[in-house]
Amino acid sequence: MEIASLAIKIARSENLPVVPQVVGVVLRMTQSDDASLLELGQALEKEVAISSKVLKAANSAYYGMKEPVHSITSALQILGLRTVCSLVLSVAYQQAVSAGQSTKLFDRVEFWRHSLASAVAARLLARLETTVDPEEMYAAALFHDVGMLALDRYAPGDFDKALALSKRTKVSLGSCLCHVLGFDTSDVGGVLAERWMFGDLIRDSIQFHSHPLDAVSHQKETCMVAVAHAIAVRSGCPNQSPEDPAEIQPEVLELAGVREDAIEVLTNATASEVARAQDAFKIR
């Protein structure tokens, strides 16, 4: 299958797992200085299932509420707009990940855990780098491997072949996908990002995180997502692939603004954060 053929299938399909409309609102908010509590509240009113899950997560031990919150308005007042935006993105994406599965070997729980760990790591990295927004980086890293969802739906047989080859040979899944299909999840993810109308930063993070030095418009942020991906793997949250997480190119670290001696600390912090988040997002 050629990437162009897959792109046509995605464009014509009504069966692809979709992210709810509220995600578009939230993503605009993460990139805007004029974010509106009212706009978010109105968007969430149309997504009752997501709102209820957001409140359940907000009331979990992970967010440390002293008293239960019973409305999105209360959650916004206590947690803040940016935190609630990231929470909404996580819940909505988890909902998309939980849609019906076509492949036999794709582990969706592992996929979701890795996505969340990468997002957590990217937020931690951003807090060390004052030129980028932590919640915007959380969103970019959360979706970085989204191409796997399209492969699961539209190329399940070839995806299973690549997964089996990766597990058998201990070669990275990206390399095995290129061998089987001629392209990898980054290429597919770029198509899906267009379909879901993601912003440039997220599209670049999806398309270039496996080779971030090729990114042009958001190279720094893409390098940060690449580092976050590696930290997620090191923290015990791999994603379908037996890749060696020890290798992070020095140039990528430099562009991301991360010192090599900080990686171990960030890895431990990510592992701790994900362990606490498991209950909030019901990762089993």
**Which residue's entry shows tokens 């070669």?**
171
Whole-number pLDDT of residue 32: 67
Whole-number pLDDT of residue 14: 52
Here the tokens at position 149 are 């969802």
**Which residue's entry shows tokens 């890293």?**
141
Give the integer Cα–Cα distance in Å for 117 and 229: 8
**Which residue's entry shows tokens 């909030």?**
280
Q: pLDDT (tens digit, 9 = 90+) per residue, 120-150? A: 999 999 998 878 989 889 999 999 999 998 8
Give the integer Cα–Cα distance in Å for 278 and 232: 14
| Cα angle, residue 242 at apex, residues 236 and 243 outer, rounded to 5° | 90
Whole-number pLDDT of residue 12: 63
Average pLDDT in the chain: 85
Q: pLDDT (tens digit, 9 = 90+) per residue, 14-62? A: 555 556 667 877 777 766 666 667 777 777 777 888 888 888 888 888 8
Q: pLDDT (tens digit, 9 = 90+) per residue, 216-275? A: 889 999 999 999 999 999 999 999 977 665 578 999 999 999 999 999 999 999 999 998
Q: Between helices 185-195 and 173-180, what is the axis angle to 10°? A: 80
Give the integer Cα–Cα distance in Å for 58 and 274: 15
| Cα angle, residue 123 at apex, residues 121 and 129 outer, rounded to 5° | 110
Comparing 78 with 181, which gets the higher pLDDT? 181
**Which residue's entry shows tokens 């935190």?**
83
Domains of the chain: 1-17+102-284 (1.10.3210.10), 18-98 (no CATH)
The pTM of this model reads 0.87
DSSP for residue 16: S
First-to-final CA distance of the chain: 33
Whole-number pLDDT of residue 18: 58
Give the integer Cα–Cα distance in Å for 84 and 75: 7
Whole-number pLDDT of residue 143: 92
Using DSSP's 3-state secondary structure scheme, residue 235 falls into coil
Whole-number pLDDT of residue 276: 85
Across 8-22, 154-168, 190-204, 246-260, least confident range: 8-22
Does residue 175 surpass a pLDDT of 60?
Answer: yes
Does residue 72 surpass a pLDDT of 70?
Answer: yes
**Which residue's entry shows tokens 């790591």?**
121
Helix residue ranges, H only, the chain? 3-12, 21-30, 37-45, 48-58, 72-79, 81-97, 108-128, 134-142, 147-154, 156-169, 173-180, 185-195, 200-208, 219-234, 250-256, 263-280
Calculate mean pLDDT across residues 68-88: 83
Spatial neighbors of 198 by CB under 8 A, at least 6 apart, are 27, 143, 206
